């Protein structure tokens, strides 16, 4: 019978003092090796191996003998102790021996372990729920591994070595044979479960041992120990540089940043909207819920720019909050952004051929251990994409430490996403527009009202070129830029150019958004207006009729946009002298 564990066994117990009992100077000291035994193991025999001695069998604990460790611990770290503020900051290597990162073999059942544990520890309560972490795929185990990944990836991480077993273990040896069934020998922690896939500083090694002796060494000459020693020596040699790198960094204070656009240094105006957002979107605003907020507005009013500025302000005011940006233009861009989030968080399984990336990342962000975060879903306009099968809306995470900000042109999308509040963004006021224009002009140009349209045209051309390069020609924001440029061309009387730009934008809108999309209907109306400005009344009439017919079918006869289409058609009919028809349409 193994002796009962006492209070003396708790905490750290020094097995071997490499200093020889002499205190080390404040400027340095030997490298410490901290050994942590597994759940249910006993401190007396975890690291001991039975070997033949001169006077019979003896138990050797390789952590206690200088003949094992002297080849490992003869390197001085040369770092001031005040620069070692915590365990993680001062850890230069991690060695895992048979650690079940993804659970153990199913034969090692909780019930059987619990029965055996209660027999052994009669005077100490045994908490069966703690054994749940051994099950493959449990949330507690996944959460624990993900937490380590998140912490490790935030700074210069230590080298990691994972040793996994190749020998089958006799599970009955720890559960006894009289439990009612014969238990075959199995590999309890295989290569998949016993390995971490981090980066070039993580390695895995196979040992021809079982789960119960993978950590036991009887001689420095054993092949397994020589391999372990070389791994630890590499960690020790890399230690000073690693700690020096950490000492120069502000460790673990900042969240992740996955914002695809740089900050617009010329951003002006919209302060009232930004104040509303900053009062709502930080994750700390609602401590018992996952906040959802939406910025709704027509295409081209600046929703993305407002969300971008809000994201950077949250970053500045809440540095521990991670900020993630996900475009909802199509399923491909959505999943690509989710994959990047998963890689930043160290989510396991992303590279599996059949991996459900969106579900994996949703689960990761839903765990409070990942910390506070702001998730921005940009261009959440397409109802079919959001709510049809498969629905992107089903992959939105929930965490009391999280907040989701949507930008959308579609009010129905915001309502169906159960978003409160919905903040409406309108076109810039004259004061804001003037401030924006003057921000991009030289001082001697700000009073030259005659050049405003020319400057506006150049700004819109630059915006269109940038969006085509970054987002592609068929992106909704690119279409908005085309429409804006066409409008300013129309305002300058450049009707031919405006017509060509409107025709291109309409053709792309029909292909990308569909003929019945509200933005496509707006494009039809805009083209009809520029045709009317050129005196092309027949073409303008036909375009207005199409827009009205589709608007009635899609939006309904009483919708404000439909009523506007009626008025537009009546105007062009009246200009052609078709007074009776104009009157009928206006009724």
CB-CB contact of 224 with 217 (8 Å): yes
- Over residues 21-74, the pLDDT tens digits come to 544 434 345 566 777 776 656 666 777 788 887 888 887 877 777 666 554 443
Given CATH 3.40.50.300, say whether it is the number of domain 257-424. Answer: yes
Helix (H) or strand (E) holding 206: strand 202-207
Q: Which one-letter DSSP state was computed for residue 328?
A: -
Give the integer Cα–Cα distance in Å for 475 and 513. 10
Reply yes or no: is the peptide bond before residue 421 cis, omega within 30 of 0.
yes
Q: What is the pLDDT of residues 187-209, one digit of tens each?
A: 888 888 888 776 666 788 888 88
Q: How far apart (Å, rounded) are the C-alpha atoms in residues 319 and 461?
A: 36
Q: Between helices 518-533 and 560-575, what is the axis angle to 10°?
A: 20
Q: Where would I find the beta strands (DSSP E) of 342-437?
A: 373-378, 402-408, 422-424
Rounded CA gap, 165 and 206, in Å? 6
Q: For residue 84, what pLDDT is reported? A: 40
Q: What is the third-level CATH fold of 441-586?
A: 1.25.40
Tokens of 266: 């010329």
How far is Cα 585 from Cα 574, in angstroms, rounded to an integer? 10
DSSP letters spanning 522-552: HHHHHHHHHHHHTT-HHHHHHHHHHHHHHHH
Cα–Cα distances in angstroms (integers) from residue 48 to residues 66, 218, 227, in the given order: 15, 8, 18
User: What is the C-alpha to C-alpha distance for residues 231 and 235, in angstroms, rounded to an integer?
Assistant: 7
- The Cα-based distances of 529 to 317, 461, 487, 537 in angstroms read 46, 21, 10, 10
Question: What is the band of 561 on the pLDDT scale with cuts at 50, 70, 90?
Answer: confident
Domain boundaries, the chain: 7-247, 257-424, 441-586
Partners of 51 in beta bridges: 58
Write down the pTM of the prediction: 0.42
Average pLDDT over residues 107-130: 52
Q: How does pLDDT run across 173-189, given as a tens digit for each residue? A: 555 445 444 556 778 88
Long-range pairs for 42-48: beta carbons < 8 A, 24 or more residues apart: 42/2, 42/5, 43/5, 43/9, 43/13, 44/2, 44/3, 45/2, 46/215, 47/215, 47/216, 48/216
Distance from first CA to last CA of the chain, Å, rounded?
98
Q: How far apart are CA 386 and CA 389, in angstroms?
A: 9
- What is the pLDDT, as a whole number, of residue 66? 67
pLDDT at residue 567 is higher than 80? no
Alpha helices in 70-109 (DSSP H): 87-90
Read off the pLDDT of residues 347-371 as tens digits, 9 standing for 90 and up: 878 878 888 899 999 998 888 778 8
pLDDT at residue 103 in the model:
73
- 163: β partners: 97, 205
Tokens of 453: 């349209």
pLDDT computed for residue 199 by the predictor: 60
Query: 553 or 568: whose pLDDT is higher?
Result: 553
Radius of gyration of the chain (CA): 34
Tokens matching residue 232 = 């630890």
Comparing 263 with 515, which gets the higher pLDDT? 515
Say how far apart CA 489 and CA 466 lie, in whole Å.
Answer: 19
b/e burial code for range 38-68 (CB count within 10 A of at least 16 → b): eeeeebeebbbbeeeeeeeeeebbbbeeeeb
């Amino acid at each position: 019978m193994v002796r009962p564990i006492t209070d003396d066994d708790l905490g750290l117990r020094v097995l071997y003092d490499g200093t020889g009992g002499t205190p080390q100077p404040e400027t340095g000291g030997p490298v410490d090796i901290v050994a942590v035994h597994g759940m249910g193991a006993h401190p007396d025999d975890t690291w001991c191996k039975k070997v033949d001695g001169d006077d019979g069998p003896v138990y050797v604990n390789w952590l206690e003998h200088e003949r094992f460790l002297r080849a490992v611990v003869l390197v001085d770290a040369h770092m001031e102790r005040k620069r070692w503020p915590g365990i993680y900051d001062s850890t230069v290597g991690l060695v895992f021996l048979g650690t079940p990162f993804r659970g153990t073999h199913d034969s090692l059942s909780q019930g059987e372990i619990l029965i055996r544990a209660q027999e052994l520890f009669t005077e100490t309560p045994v908490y069966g729920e703690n054994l749940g972490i051994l099950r493959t795929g449990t949330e507690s185990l996944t959460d624990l591994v993900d937490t380590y990944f998140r912490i490790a990836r935030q700074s210069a991480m230590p080298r990691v070595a994972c040793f996994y077993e190749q020998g089958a273990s006799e599970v009955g040896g720890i559960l006894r044979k009289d439990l009612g069934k014969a238990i075959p020998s199995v590999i309890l922690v295989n290569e998949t479960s016993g390995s971490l896939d981090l980066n070039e500083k993580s390695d895995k090694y196979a040992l021809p041992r079982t789960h119960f002796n993978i950590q036991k060494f009887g001689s420095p000459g054993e092949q397994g120990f020589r391999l372990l020693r070389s791994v630890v020596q590499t960690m020790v040699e890399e230690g000073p540089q690693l700690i020096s790198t950490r000492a120069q960094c502000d460790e673990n204070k900042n969240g992740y940043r996955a914002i695809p656009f740089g900050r617009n240094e010329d951003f002006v105006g919209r302060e009232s909207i930004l104040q509303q957002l900053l009062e709502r979107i930080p994750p700390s605003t609602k401590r018992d819920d996952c906040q959802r907020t939406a910025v709704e507005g027509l295409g081209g009013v600046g929703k993305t720019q407002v969300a971008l500025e809000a994201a950077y302000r949250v970053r500045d005011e809440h540095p521990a909050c991670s900020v993630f940006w996900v475009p909802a233009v199509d399923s491909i861009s959505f999943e690509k952004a989710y994959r990047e989030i998963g890689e930043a968080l160290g989510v396991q399984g992303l590279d599996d051929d059949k991996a459900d990336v969106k579900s994996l990342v949703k689960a990761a962000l839903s765990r409070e251990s990942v910390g506070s975060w702001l998730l921005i879903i940009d261009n959440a306009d397409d109802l079919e994409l959001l709510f049809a099968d498969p629905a992107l809306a089903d992959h939105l995470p929930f965490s009391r430490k999280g907040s989701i900000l949507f930008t959308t042109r579609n009010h129905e999308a915001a309502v169906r996403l159960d978003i409160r509040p919905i903040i409406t963004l309108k076109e810039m006021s004259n004061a804001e527009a003037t401030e924006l224009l003057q921000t991009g002009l030289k001082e001697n140009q700000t009073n030259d009202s005659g050049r405003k349209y020319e400057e506006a045209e150049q700004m819109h051309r630059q915006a269109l070129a940038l969006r085509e390069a970054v987002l592609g020609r068929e992106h909704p924001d690119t279409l908005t830029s085309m429409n804006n440029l066409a409008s300013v061309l129309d305002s300058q009387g450049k009707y031919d150019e405006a017509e060509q730009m409107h025709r291109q934008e309409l053709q792309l809108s029909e292909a990308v958004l569909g003929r019945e999309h509200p933005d496509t209907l707006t494009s039809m109306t805009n083209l009809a207006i520029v045709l009317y400005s050129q005196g092309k009344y027949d073409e303008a009439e036909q375009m207005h009729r199409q827009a009205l017919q589709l608007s009635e079918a899609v939006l309904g006869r009483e919708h404000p946009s439909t009523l506007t289409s009626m008025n537009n058609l009546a105007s062009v009919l009246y200009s052609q002298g078709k007074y009776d028809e104009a009157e009928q349409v206006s009724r």
